[in-house]
């Protein structure tokens, strides 16, 4: 497949993403409209409902305003990303300080001259960002895009006023042109230089002001391009000012390199002076127009190093698009400047070597004479290949970052919907809702009590019976340990004895190693013990969430799948929430105020269950260790005779094997005696929990007050029906239902992003 075909495929994929982003933006617009209508319904309710619900409405209003701001910000970012992905070219951006060889590199690459891509040794020559795109067979020409009044003031003039403290910026172009500039206070040299740049815009307004807001874009031939992008003519004898009214230029030409249709190169103004507009152009271009960055640097022939301005420029570019690490989207071109008396070749190589250990991290660097088309083409080809190979990954980073922000926004919207859904349940005086609440509470409490007692009885019936899960796990460990003893063969005994200087020493080592090997097998029992505890916690969680109707408290985004005992708890995003998670969620909602409401028993019981453990080291390890004594070199089951040579290698191996099997049998017998203990431990902790939360003095009052405080979350429907009858919540509920539909729509998840590959190490290209 040719490069042009690859570029076309990438651009097609980008176009699809851009279309999806447009659809997502339309959905966010609908969400914003739904929020606005709900807020109108909220304002209508204020003053006509109970104080408790009114306070909640004020809080919801503050949340809405924050979400509306988030929505506007997300839509702006989606629009920016959509423009980036909707471009018709893949773009390489040239970034560098003035007089570093950037323009000469572009001339060598594109076949253009100083007539179209300004260069010069006398000053800062390029004044406008120019996109140079390849079109086979095209003669050089340019489309010139002018500033309108708004962009000129916002992007060019306002930064100076803000930075220099000149007061409010002009709100109309004529105000800027017709009135003297505010005086600059202080004598800071940089501020003075920046003020001089602003003064140039003001003093020369007559030379370019008529272009602002003019028909745009318009096309010019090659002979006129320079007058719209440069600050002076090739000789430096004549100044141009039209560039001050130009926002950007798109140059079309036929690159000498073939097979790059769909590729563009952006010539950014050379940085290094105090022109605030140049910095703003750089940041804007890197954000929206540049896919890969090429830094251009010409080390001085007389000696040079990585300077602060190098790091500043790199940092400025890096911060412009922080979603993509700069080391994955940038290259360094080190300009080899040839001259008869001052060739910088040696310093160029030294500079390249220093880059690897500096803050300037790039995907690759190369030393090239920017004035030689053959060297430029050879250096540029690998960069294009890298771009084609990695642009999908880089786009994925941008899309993934955006989707993460949208997921956070959606979660906050869902939280708002849940909170707003409880308002109606709080809107009636206690004389209206308390009888219904009392009925609902008594039903839930009775069901929960019955279910807990039933669970305790079930566990009591099996507390002295072998725990099937534990017994099966022990049997599996014994089987594996029997098959995998870790013992040597006869040849291994010979090799070890030679290595350690004696057969007796080798025998002792083999015993100790066999003991360690066997004990390691039993560590696997830790998993089944933890699983048994997790099963118990899940049973309690399901009782509380099902019979006790506390499921809405199990995390703001969790729902409990009730049904057959043993069902798992899952969250709305498809992940899993353990029974312990649910217990802690509910415990976290139990008030800690011990004056009017003493929640110690409920909270203590829930935390007790959540913190309960059955672990190998506390439950099994101390029982296993005595069984392994025969595998100790100090007191083995079979002691070697003093004349160890009377024992053959085969006999020594038999002694090791019998010792191992004897220890394994002792472990098996010991564990068989405690098969019922996990069941007994689980019964004991569940019975203790039940005593705490059902049998303690005053605990039913604790539950009643707790349920009363969370009533709007547990029973929003039944309690809201009381408010619905008054007619005040008809509009509120209708708008809330519409917003809920918008937050649950599939439009949020229509864009998928492939995972990005790991960052590549920095490379050097000779």
Residues 6+ apart with CB under 8 A from 153: 169, 170, 171, 172, 173, 176
For the chain, what percent of residues have pLDDT higher than 70?
87
Is 342 inside a domain boundary? no
Task: Give pLDDT, residue 574.
Answer: 41
Average pLDDT over residues 26-42: 92
Across 555-639, the runs of DSSP E, i.e. the strands, are: 558-560, 569-571
Residue 686 belongs to what domain range? Answer: 430-720
Which of 262-276, 307-321, 425-439 reaches the highest mean pLDDT?
Answer: 307-321
Is the pLDDT at 281 greater than 70, yes or no? no
CA distance 514 to 492: 14
CA distance 124 to 156: 17
Whether the bond between 217 and the residue before it is cis, its omega within 30 degrees of 0, is yes
Judged by DSSP in three states, 629 sits in helix
CA distance 382 to 389: 10
CB distance 547 to 450 below 8 Å: yes
For residue 507, report the phi and psi dihedrals to the nearest 5 degrees. Answer: -60, -45
Task: Give pLDDT, residue 728.
Answer: 66
Other beta carbons within 10 angstroms of residue 280's beta carbon come to: 15
CA distance 231 to 348: 29
Residues 6+ apart with CB under 8 A from 706: 589, 590, 591, 597, 599, 602
Task: Give pLDDT, residue 559.
Answer: 37
Predicted confidence (pLDDT) per residue in 602-632, tens digit: 999 999 999 999 999 889 999 999 999 999 9
Is the pLDDT at 762 greater than 50, yes or no? no
DSSP secondary-structure letter at 760? Answer: P
Nearest to 509 by CA among 520, 499, 524: 499
CB distance 107 to 222 below 8 Å: no
Alpha-carbon distances of 500 from 374, 507, 640, rounded to whole Å: 67, 10, 17
Task: Give pLDDT, residue 592.
Answer: 65
Predicted confidence (pLDDT) per residue in 567-608, tens digit: 444 444 444 568 999 999 999 888 765 444 445 789 999 999
Residues 6+ apart with CB under 8 A from 327: 361, 362, 363, 759, 760, 762
Q: For residue 306, what are its two tokens?
A: 């990585």
Average pLDDT over residues 378-402: 89
Q: Which uninterrupted H or E stretch holds 295?
A: strand 292-297
Nearest to 386 by CA among 760, 687, 4: 760
Alpha-carbon distances of 667 from 468, 512, 631, 662, 671, rounded to whole Å: 18, 17, 12, 9, 6
Which of 284-288, 676-680, 748-752 reaches the highest mean pLDDT?
Answer: 676-680
Predicted confidence (pLDDT) per residue in 106-164, tens digit: 999 998 888 888 775 544 456 678 899 988 888 999 999 999 999 999 988 998 999 89
Nearest to 710 by CA among 426, 420, 449: 426
Return left, alpha or beta for 322; rule: phi > 0 is left, psi -120 to 50 is alpha, else beta. alpha
Return left, alpha or beta for 297; rule: phi > 0 is left, psi -120 to 50 is alpha, else beta. beta
Is 507 inside a domain boundary? yes
Average pLDDT over residues 393-421: 89
Task: Give pLDDT, residue 272.
Answer: 54
CB distance 331 to 292 below 8 Å: yes
Task: Give pLDDT, residue 181.
Answer: 94
The mean pLDDT value of the chain amounts to 85
Is 291 inside a domain boundary? no
Average pLDDT over residues 365-387: 90
CA distance 757 to 74: 26
CA distance 547 to 50: 31
Task: Give the model's confidence band at 39: pLDDT under 50 very low, under 70 low, under 90 confident, else very high.
Answer: very high
Is 450 inside a domain boundary? yes
Predicted confidence (pLDDT) per residue in 56-96, tens digit: 889 899 999 999 999 999 999 999 899 989 988 899 988 88
Return left, alpha or beta for 611; rule: phi > 0 is left, psi -120 to 50 is alpha, else beta. alpha
Residues 6+ apart with CB under 8 A from 189: none
User: Which residue stretches of 462-565 are H helix?
Assistant: 468-483, 490-500, 503-522, 525-542
For residue 321, report the phi and psi dihedrals to the nearest 5 degrees. Answer: -145, 75
CA distance 608 to 580: 11
Is the pLDDT at 343 greater than 90, yes or no? no
Number of structural domains found in the chain = 1
CA distance 66 to 53: 20
Task: Give pLDDT, residue 573.
Answer: 41
DSSP secondary-structure letter at 250? Answer: E
Q: For residue 233, what are its two tokens?
A: 């003519």
Task: Give pLDDT, residue 124.
Answer: 46
Is 94 inside a domain boundary? no
Task: Give the model's confidence band at 186: pLDDT under 50 very low, under 70 low, under 90 confident, else very high.
Answer: confident
Is 110 inside a domain boundary? no
User: Which residue stretches of 86-187 are H helix?
Assistant: 102-110, 149-151, 158-164, 173-178
For the ranges 71-75, 116-120, 424-428, 690-694, the lowest mean pLDDT is seen at 424-428
Supply the DSSP string of 556-573, one letter for each residue. TTEEE--SSTTPPEEETT
Is the pLDDT at 263 greater than 70, yes or no? yes
- pTM for the full predicted model: 0.63
Q: For residue 453, what are its two tokens?
A: 């007692």
CA distance 657 to 526: 26
Is 368 inside a domain boundary? no
Task: Give pLDDT, residue 759.
Answer: 43
Task: Give the model's confidence band at 100: pLDDT under 50 very low, under 70 low, under 90 confident, else very high.
Answer: confident
Supply the DSSP string of 63-110, one letter for each residue. HHHHHHHHHHHHHHHHHHHHHHHT-SSEEEEEE-BTTSSHHHHHHHHH
Compare 236 and 107 and report the one with higher pLDDT. 107
DSSP secondary-structure letter at 576? Answer: B
CA distance 304 to 344: 10
Is 28 inside a domain boundary? no
Predicted confidence (pLDDT) per residue in 301-334, tens digit: 878 888 888 888 888 888 877 888 888 989 999 9
Is the pLDDT at 467 greater than 90, yes or no? yes
Average pLDDT over residues 215-224: 92
CB distance 604 to 495 below 8 Å: no
Compare 178 and 267 and report the one with higher pLDDT. 178
Compare 308 and 209 and report the one with higher pLDDT. 209
CB distance 94 to 269 below 8 Å: no
Q: For residue 307, what are its two tokens?
A: 């300077």
For the ranges 458-467, 526-535, 562-571, the lowest mean pLDDT is seen at 562-571
Is the pLDDT at 667 greater than 70, yes or no? yes
Other beta carbons within 10 angstroms of residue 62's beta carbon come to: 9
Compare 27 and 279 and report the one with higher pLDDT. 27
Q: In the block, which residue shows the tokens 């110690």?
A: 600
Compare 584 and 282 and report the one with higher pLDDT. 584
């Amino acid at each position: 497949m040719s490069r042009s075909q690859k570029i076309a495929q990438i651009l097609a994929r980008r176009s699809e993403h851009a279309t999806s982003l447009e659809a997502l933006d339309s959905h966010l617009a609908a969400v914003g409209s739904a929020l606005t209508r709900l807020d109108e319904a909220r304002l209508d309710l204020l003053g006509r409902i109970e104080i408790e619900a009114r306070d909640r409405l004020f809080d919801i209003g503050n949340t809405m305003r924050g979400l509306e701001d988030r929505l506007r910000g997300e839509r702006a970012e989606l629009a920016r990303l959509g423009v980036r992905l909707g471009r018709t070219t893949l773009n390489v951006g040239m970034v560098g300080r003035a007089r570093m060889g950037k323009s000469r590199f572009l001339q060598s690459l594109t076949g253009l001259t100083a007539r179209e891509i300004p260069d010069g040794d006398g000053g800062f020559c390029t004044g406008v960002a120019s996109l140079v795109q390849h079109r086979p067979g095209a003669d050089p020409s340019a489309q010139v895009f002018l500033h309108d009044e708004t962009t000129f003031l916002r992007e060019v003039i306002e930064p100076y006023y803000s930075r220099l403290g000149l007061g409010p910026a002009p709100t109309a172009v004529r105000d800027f042109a017709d009135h003297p500039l505010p005086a600059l206070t202080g004598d800071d040299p940089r501020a003075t230089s920046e003020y001089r740049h602003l003064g140039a815009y003001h003093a020369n307004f007559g030379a370019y002001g008529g272009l602002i807001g003019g028909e745009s874009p318009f096309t010019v031939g090659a002979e006129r391009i320079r007058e719209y992008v440069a600050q002076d003519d090739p000789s430096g004898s004549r100044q141009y000012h039209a560039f001050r009214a130009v926002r950007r230029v798109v140059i079309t030409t036929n690159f000498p390199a073939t097979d790059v249709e769909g590729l563009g190169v952006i010539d950014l103004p050379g940085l290094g002076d105090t022109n605030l507009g140049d910095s703003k152009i750089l940041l804007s271009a890197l954000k929206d127009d540049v896919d890969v960055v090429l830094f251009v640097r010409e080390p001085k022939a007389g000696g040079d190093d990585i300077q602060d301005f190098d790091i500043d420029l790199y940092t400025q570019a890096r911060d412009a698009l922080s979603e993509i690490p700069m080391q994955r989207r940038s290259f360094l071109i080190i300009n080899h400047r040839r001259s008869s008396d001052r060739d910088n070749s040696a310093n160029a190589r030294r500079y390249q070597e220093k880059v690897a250990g500096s803050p300037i991290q790039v995907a690759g660097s190369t030393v090239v004479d920017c004035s030689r088309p053959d060297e430029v083409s050879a250096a540029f080809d690998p960069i294009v290949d890298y771009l084609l190979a990695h642009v999908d990954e880089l786009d994925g980073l941008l899309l993934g970052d955006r989707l993460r922000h949208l997921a956070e926004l959606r979660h906050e919207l869902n939280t708002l919907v849940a909170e707003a859904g409880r308002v109606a349940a709080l809107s009636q005086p206690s004389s209206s809702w308390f009888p219904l609440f009392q009925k609902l509470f008594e039903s839930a409490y009775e069901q929960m009590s019955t279910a807990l007692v039933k669970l305790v009885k079930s566990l009591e019936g099996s507390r002295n019976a072998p725990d099937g899960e534990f017994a099966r796990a022990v049997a599996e460990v014994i089987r594996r340990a029997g098959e995998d003893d870790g013992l040597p063969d006869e040849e291994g005994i010979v090799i070890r004895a030679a290595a350690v200087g004696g057969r007796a020493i080798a025998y002792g080592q083999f015993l100790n190693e066999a003991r360690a090997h066997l004990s390691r097998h039993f560590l696997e029992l830790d998993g089944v013990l933890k699983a048994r505890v997790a099963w118990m916690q899940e049973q309690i969680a399901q009782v509380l969430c099902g019979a006790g109707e506390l499921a809405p408290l199990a995390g703001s985004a969790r729902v409990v799948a009730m049904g057959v005992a043993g069902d798992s708890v899952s969250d709305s995003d498809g992940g899993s929430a353990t029974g312990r998670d649910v217990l802690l969620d509910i415990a976290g909602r139990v008030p800690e105020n011990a004056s009017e409401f003493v929640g110690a028993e409920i909270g203590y019981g829930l935390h007790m269950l959540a913190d309960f453990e059955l672990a190998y080291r506390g439950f099994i390890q101390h029982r296993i260790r005595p069984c392994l004594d025969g595998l100790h070199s100090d007191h083995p089951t079979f002691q070697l005779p003093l004349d160890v040579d009377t024992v053959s290698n085969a006999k020594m191996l038999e002694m090791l094997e019998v010792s191992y099997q004897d220890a394994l049998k002792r472990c098996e017998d010991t564990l068989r005696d405690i098969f019922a203990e996990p069941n007994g431990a689980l019964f004991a902790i569940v019975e203790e929990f039940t005593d705490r939360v059902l049998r303690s003095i005053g605990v039913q009052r604790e539950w009643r007050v707790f349920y009363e405080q969370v009533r709007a979350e547990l029973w929003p429907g039944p309690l809201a029906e009381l408010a619905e009858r008054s007619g005040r919540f008809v509009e509120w509920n209708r708008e809330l239902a519409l917003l809920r539909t918008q937050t649950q729509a599939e439009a949020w998840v229509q864009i998928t992003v492939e995972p990005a590959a790991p960052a590549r190490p920095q490379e050097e290209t000779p």
